[in-house]
Amino acid sequence: MTSTQTAQSENPYLNGFLAPVSAEVTATDLAVTGHIPEHLDGRYLRNGPNPAVEVDPATYHWFSGDGMVHGVSLGDGQARWYRNRWVRSPAVCAALGESLPGRPNPRAGMSSLGANTNVLTHAGRTLALVEGGVANYELTDELDTVGPCDFDGTLAGGYTAHPHRDPRTGELHAVSYSFARGRTVQYSVIDTDGHARRTVDIEVTGSPMMHDFSLTDKYVVIYDLPVTFDPVQLMPASVPRWLQLPTRLVLQSLLGRVRIPGPIAAWTNRGSNRETRRMVGMPYAWNPDYPARIGVMPRDGANRDVRWFEIEPCYVYHPLNAYSEFRDGARGTEEVLVLDVVRYSRMFDRDRRGPGDSMPTLDRWTINLTTGAVASECRDDRSQEFPRINETLLGGRHRFGYTVGVDGGFLAAGEADLSSALYKHDYATGSSTVAAIDPDLLLGEMSFIPNPASDSADPVPPAEDDGILMGYGYHRGRDEGQLLLLDAQTLESVATVHLPQRVPMGFHGNWASTG
Ligand SMILES: [Fe+2]
């Protein structure tokens, strides 16, 4: 067990069910209420920020915390183990007094932050993921850190927290951004051997924060939105006052506008010492002068093939799904692109500690690729995030989507006032249902895991919502962390795994099936 001091403060991202935990725990043979389906053989893994040292609550940004992965192993109807482990970035190793695992690899990206945003398995590897040009890390099956990951030297300068797996090929598609890439972002395809087989540099207006993208059966859809790199946030506090203005001018003239060689970017933002950690805030901010656009590129296209569509200024972290289809229109058969997203009207404008400027709603953009017309509508104005679907349908038409609702605003209210909900949206009927969960339970993201297909000789195609929703919750009344398994058709509980400690509200998780 490793312990460090954790901060207690008025920063909402350091308190309540968001508060970091201070220990790495291993527990086996966990107590279960209900029945874990026998076919679930694997690990549920989820990443999130969890500072390993005391941080300044006045400047701490939720997105900058050291990465910690929480995992539960399931098999034979049992909950075999729970583990939580910090991802061993240089800063975490320094805090824990450990040597670095693996070799330093500046090609893999910057090390100013830990890999704190997502975790998944691909080509036999468990990967802790982050964005913005920061290095990703490979983990063992038991969540120990192996070292930085650059896909065996095939992808430099950092990856993304939100790759999308093509359900037909098993390949990972992604769009990576970094201030070190200048005015470009990079689309990449990682093959089933874990190597980049294709990259495309796409020109954008500046240096946007591009957290996620959409992948359809035919298109790559990118969101070039007005949250952009703010280089002044990277200026060290140690720069003398008389040098701050010229330093700021140099930073503004270079960073985010020109391409910076990977090793230099890695050095300038290495982040393992106290001074550098103090200055790590959020180097992206709302930019009212930046045009909001959606870019659409054929999957096998190039930069010159991208079509751009202007939209109202807003920000999107997470699309739910996207697809294109043909419809009858004024010009005969017209191709229409449907983008379901969680949309914020503003982001990182006044609130620089987290996503608190506006409430996220479930919206749909419809882009008529034949006429160029763009339409938008709010499908659900309740505050919600973490959209997921049955990802065997990713890129094609979906009927159901699952989101986590946060009443009182996303983290805007105190913990006592905060309540969460699980919404199931039916795009066929336009209706939604709310899971009847215990009001003392606060939910994080819920992943969809399809049930196995029928073994019969004439199998009936499985229903889209035939599966399990799985994710962590925190039960306030019991002061207990839980892994929740719900029936995606009924939203009723299938099983609850009782964990030995609270799992802080974090970011993204996935089911990693064994074999
Ligand atoms: Fe995300």
Are the C-beta atoms of residues 186 and 200 closer than 8 Å to each other?
Answer: yes
State how far the Cα of 369 lies from the Cα of 374, in Å rounded to an integer: 9
State how far the Cα of 85 lies from the Cα of 49, in Å rounded to an integer: 11
Q: H helices then E strands: how many in the chain? A: 4, 33
State how far the Cα of 281 lies from the Cα of 277, in Å rounded to an integer: 9
Distance between Cα 311 and ligand 1 center (Å): 21
Task: Output the pLDDT for position 458.
Answer: 66
Task: Kindly list the domain boundaries of the chain, sorted by start residue.
Answer: 12-510
> Residue 255 has which token pair?
């960073």
Through-space distance between the first and last CA atoms of the chain, rounded to whole angstroms: 29
State the pairing for strand pair 431-434/361-368: unpaired
Task: Output the pLDDT for position 408.
Answer: 57
- Residues making up the chain, counted from first to last: 515
284 torsion bin: left (phi>0), alpha (psi -120 to 50), beta (else):
beta
Residue 159: partners with Cβ closer than 8 Å, 6 or more residues away: 109, 129, 131, 136, 149, 151, 174, 176, 188
Label residue 104 by pLDDT band (50, 70, 90): confident
Q: What is the pLDDT averaged over residues 79-84?
A: 98
State how far the Cα of 494 lies from the Cα of 361, in Å rounded to an integer: 28
Listed ranges 3-17, 74-88, 105-119; the one with the highest mean pLDDT: 74-88
State how far the Cα of 511 lies from the Cα of 121, in Å rounded to an integer: 9
Residue type, 513: S
Are the C-beta atoms of residues 393 and 464 closer than 8 Å to each other?
Answer: yes
Residue type, 432: S
Label residue 331 by pLDDT band (50, 70, 90): confident
Distance between Cα 161 and ligand 1 center (Å): 7
Distance between Cα 375 and ligand 1 center (Å): 25
Q: What separation in angstroms does the CA of 39 have from each of 36, 75, 449, 501, 514?
A: 9, 8, 11, 26, 11
Label residue 263 by pLDDT band (50, 70, 90): very low
Distance between Cα 308 and ligand 1 center (Å): 23
Is the pTM of the predicted complex or chain greater than 0.85? yes
Q: Which one has a higher pLDDT value, 185 or 111?
A: 185
Distance between Cα 26 and ligand 1 center (Å): 27
Domain covering 12-510, topology: Methylamine Dehydrogenase; Chain H (2.130.10)
Listed ranges 239-253, 324-338, 350-364, 403-417; the one with the highest mean pLDDT: 324-338
Please say if the pLDDT value at position 280 is more than 60: no
State how far the Cα of 354 lies from the Cα of 23, in Å rounded to an integer: 24
Label residue 12 by pLDDT band (50, 70, 90): confident
Least confident of 3-7, 83-87, 130-134, 290-294: 3-7
Please say if the pLDDT value at position 269 is more than 90: no
Q: Please give the helix or strand (H or E) that residue 276 lies within, else none.
A: helix 274-279
Nearest to 18 by CA among 47, 41, 48: 48
> Residue 198 has which token pair?
């294709």
Task: Output the pLDDT for position 270.
Answer: 45
Label residue 227 by pLDDT band (50, 70, 90): very high
Please say if the pLDDT value at position 245 is more than 90: no
Distance between Cα 360 and ligand 1 center (Å): 13
Least confident of 99-113, 303-317, 378-392: 99-113
Are the C-beta atoms of residues 337 and 367 closer than 8 Å to each other?
Answer: yes
Q: Which one has a higher pLDDT value, 103 or 293?
A: 293
Are the C-beta atoms of residues 284 and 229 closer than 8 Å to each other?
Answer: yes
Distance between Cα 348 and ligand 1 center (Å): 15
Distance between Cα 274 and ligand 1 center (Å): 27
Residue 316 in 3-state DSSP?
strand
% the chain with pLDDT above 90: 71
Please say if the pLDDT value at position 231 is more than 90: no
Distance between Cα 317 and ligand 1 center (Å): 6
Label residue 239 by pLDDT band (50, 70, 90): low
Distance between Cα 510 and ligand 1 center (Å): 12
Q: What is the pLDDT averaged over residues 184-209?
A: 97
Distance between Cα 446 and ligand 1 center (Å): 13
State how far the Cα of 387 lies from the Cα of 390, in Å rounded to an integer: 11
% the chain with pLDDT above 70: 85
Tens of pLDDT, residues 107-139? 899 887 889 999 999 999 999 999 999 999 999
Distance between Cα 239 and ligand 1 center (Å): 33
Distance between Cα 428 and ligand 1 center (Å): 26
Distance between Cα 506 and ligand 1 center (Å): 10
Are the C-beta atoms of residues 32 and 38 closer than 8 Å to each other?
Answer: no
Distance between Cα 38 and ligand 1 center (Å): 30
